Amino acid sequence: MNTEKNVAAAATAIIGQRVLPGMEREFETWQEDLNAAAAYYPGFLGAEISPPTPLQTDWVVVYRFDSVAHLQAWINSATRQTYLDVGARYFDGPATQQVVSSGTHSLDPLVTVVVTHRVLPNQVADFLAWQHRLVQEESKFEGFRGTELFRPVEGLQEEWTTLYRYDSAEHLDAWLTSPERQEILAEGEKFSDFHLHTIDNSFGSWFAFEGNGKEAPPPPSETRTSLAIWVGLYPTVVLLTLALSPLHMPLWIGLLVGNLLSSFLMSFLTMPYYVNPLLGRWLRPAPDEPAARSNLRGLGVVAVAMAFWAVVFYLVTVRFWTLP
């Protein structure tokens, strides 16, 4: 598979959805299944879910695709519409959607604010001048890490989208609640119809299924996740133990060093190059695949993999070599 993605055309969709009280768990499970379905569409790079925070009341879902065309194909797909029809029972009102397309930037591991404005064609010049004034003032606040402005994306949205980045939620909140911002918002009263979302991109990378290493959300089942980590952890720990045994380190220091090395190996080698390719279809089953068949196949792969390693390490440590 060609992993050289055309980053110049990469596209990101940020979708905000308010959820009915008491339906949060059901919504999250449904959303994870929807994200899993997106992974089967061309150009998919990753999807992330962010629950409500003190700064915003919506659940936020971020989709990344390698092009606007591929993102549009997913957003307008019959698969997604079918899921939305099912998930409507969890929604407290319509969703909001912002799309950005950028070749040199992506959502940073900071706190990102996504703001969209609907601007009339004859007000674009005034809007750009007002945005410049807003950024000038915002850049004076502690923790500010930059901003980007994106024009409307034909076929997906009509709004202008602005990304603001801060190094922490506290610094972001200081700007959002500041008198300076309120004053500038009052100056741009004709642009006061806007949507705002915050995204804290603190997602792990153990379960990234794309060859390019882009992040994807963890598998929906905690049991599957635990078994997948077990499949990777057992050979990693045993091989490290064999490799470190000639050093004759005391137990306490041996475990300290071994745990450190196993963490790095699991993150950068075992999970992305062994476990995820081996169990990817089980961890991310197709939406139309029966759960019983998926589980049976996945558990079978787990059993075979663990039996293989058990036999290998038995032969190595008992028949051919014993620990010093």
Q: What is the pLDDT of residues 126-165, one digit of tens each?
A: 888 888 888 888 888 888 877 777 777 666 667 787 777 7
Residue 214 in domain? no
Q: Token digits for 213?
A: 């290493």
Spatial neighbors of 265 by CB under 8 A, at least 6 apart, are 236, 240
Partners of 166 in the beta sheet? 111, 144
State the pLDDT at residue 207.
Answer: 45
* 152, 247: one domain: no
Give yes or no for a contact between 42 and 2, defined as CB atoms under 8 angstroms apart.
no
State the pLDDT at residue 155.
Answer: 65
Give yes or no for a contact between 74 and 18, defined as CB atoms under 8 angstroms apart.
no
State the pLDDT at residue 303.
Answer: 95
* 58, 174: one domain: yes
- Cα separation, 3 vs 19, in Å, equals 36
Q: Which of 200, 230, 259 is the last residue of a domain?
A: 200
Residue 244 in domain? yes
* 97, 19: one domain: yes
* 109, 230: one domain: no
* 50, 106: one domain: yes
* 235, 163: one domain: no
* 127, 266: one domain: no
The predicted model scores a pTM of: 0.43
* 57, 116: one domain: yes
Q: Which of 96, 86, 83 is nearest to 38 (CA)?
A: 83
The number of CA neighbours under 13 Å toward the Cβ of 307 is 6
State the pLDDT at residue 103.
Answer: 45
Statement: residue 72 has pLDDT above 80: yes
Is residue 163 classed as helix, strand or coil in its secondary structure? strand
State the pLDDT at residue 204.
Answer: 36
Q: Which residue has the higher pLDDT, 34 or 95?
A: 34
State the pLDDT at residue 2.
Answer: 30
At how many degrees (to 10) do helices 222-244 and 291-314 cross? Answer: 10
* 82, 132: one domain: yes
The average pLDDT across 19-23 equals 91
Domain count for the chain: 2
* 98, 167: one domain: yes
CATH number at residue 21: 3.30.70.100
- Cα separation, 71 vs 85, in Å, equals 20
State the pLDDT at residue 1.
Answer: 29
Domain span including residue 175:
7-200
Spatial neighbors of 50 by CB under 8 A, at least 6 apart, are 59, 60, 61, 62, 199, 200
State the pLDDT at residue 85.
Answer: 87
* 180, 75: one domain: yes
Residue 213 in domain? no
Is residue 309 classed as helix, strand or coil in its secondary structure? helix
The average pLDDT across 72-90 equals 87
Q: Average per-residue pLDDT in the chain?
A: 77
Give yes or no for a contact between 150 and 100, defined as CB atoms under 8 angstroms apart.
yes
* 229, 182: one domain: no
The average pLDDT across 184-212 equals 58
